[in-house]
A and B are shown apart, each in its own frame.
Chain A
Amino acid sequence: DVKVTQSSRYLVKRTGEKVFLECVQDMDHENMFWYRQDPGLGLRLIYFSYDVKMKEKGDIPEGYSVSREKKERFSLILESASTNQTSMYLCASRPGGITETQYFGPGTRLLVL
């Protein structure tokens, strides 16, 4: 079974803090993704990575950055957290090639005060 784990289920941070969200997958997948999930908006892609040290912006990258130093780990960084970044953050991985299925982690619910 594919397993995607996220470092925290719940986080509370203060405005202006630097926030790190970690994601690890155990299936040697090429592609990894960060989404945020908000009611009425579905899942929106923040960043994705198709290989180690490679990254591409998604639809809503502003205020975020990412890091992928190892194949199994993909980190989302909020450089200076703001209240409008309060959300559920979901990490996903995908094998690459013709396989389309994305495997999601359980999510991190972030509250920025």
Chain B
Amino acid sequence: QQQVKQSPQSLIVQKGGISIINCAYENTAFDYFPWYQQFPGKGPALLIAIRPDVSEKKEGRFTISFNKSAKQFSLHIMDSQPGDSATYFCAASGTDSWGKLQFGAGTQVVVTP
């Protein structure tokens, strides 16, 4: 049973558009929420992460929005580029969990030229 639910499973966006991926969790002990990006043939790599003391974090064209009361967080990719085409995973962990991450199912993003 997946502790972090991610949607959509896939999305296609035009170059310059906004990609939005959503995740929801139930475990209130989670206090660290990273997003990982995976290109074909590669392992996932950390893209951006947030802790619940802030509602938004921005790094370049990537923004995490966090809603603690709703237990939801989302990744926004602004001005999407073909090089952003990848699979994105949200994840969550708690401080008492040895850094074990619970991953969402993943979203395959395709950015068309």
Contact = CB atoms under 8 A, between A and B. Distances in A.
Of B45, B101, B105, most A-chain CB atoms within 10 Å: B101
Interface stretch (B36-44, B55-63, B64-72): B36-44
A54 to B, nearest CB: 10
Contacts of B6: 42
B99 A104 contact: no
B98 A40 contact: no
Contacts of B42: 106-107
A56 interface: yes
Give the interface size class of chain B. Answer: 20 to 34
Contacts of B100: 33, 45, 48, 58
A96 B98 CA distance: 8
B46 interface: yes
Interface of B: 2, 4, 6, 9, 32, 34, 36, 41-46, 49, 89, 93, 98-101, 103-106
A90 B101 CA distance: 13
B105 A41 contact: yes
Given A48-B98, A90-B44, 11 more contacts: A4-B43, A31-B98, A40-B105, A41-B2, A42-B89, A42-B105, A43-B89, A45-B100, A92-B43, A106-B42, A106-B43
A106 B39 CA distance: 10
A102 interface: yes
Contacts of B36: 104
Given A31-B99, A42-B2, A42-B89, A104 B44 contact: yes
A102 B99 contact: yes
Nearest to B3: A59
12 contacts: A33-B100, A42-B4, A42-B6, A42-B105, A45-B101, A56-B98, A58-B100, A94-B99, A100-B34, A102-B101, A104-B43, A105-B43
